[in-house]
Amino acid sequence: MVKQKLPKTNEYWKKKLTSEQYAVLREKGTEAAFTGKYWDTKEKGMFHCAACGTQLFSSDAKFDSGTGWPSFDHALPGTVKLEDDTSCGMHRTEAICAHCGGHLGHVFLDGPKPSGLRFCINSCSLDLKKKKK
């Protein structure tokens, strides 16, 4: 279960995040495909929001979508909020951290079964906490 939404100022986020993270998480930007640190990682662990640290995705949900961004077939329950996004002349579903409101990426209906979902997430919005061996 996610705690109550985290209200912070733009100044707070500018100090806490890198410029790339701020552009994606706070200004709804997108990193270039095949450039993020997690797009092809096979490491096991939990993916957390890079802004607030909330656990979002298990590495068990990650799959190779061929798109150049980390893709997951489901999020941990209650951690990712979905909203309509009509920016860029398209209609998409935006994925947002339910705790801090950070933009993570988008969700598409072309993922693997059983969910059929593809959470297409920017690497810079994530922080992987590797599973201890």
Mark whether 120 is an active-site residue. yes
Q: Are 37 and 126 in contact (CB under 8 A)?
A: no
Task: Find the catalytic residue in 49, 52, 100, 120.
Answer: 120
Q: What pLDDT does 8 receive?
A: 77
pLDDT tens-digit profile of 62-90? 999 999 999 999 999 999 999 988 887 88
Q: What pLDDT does 85 receive?
A: 85
In this prediction the pTM is 0.90
Q: What pLDDT does 10 receive?
A: 85
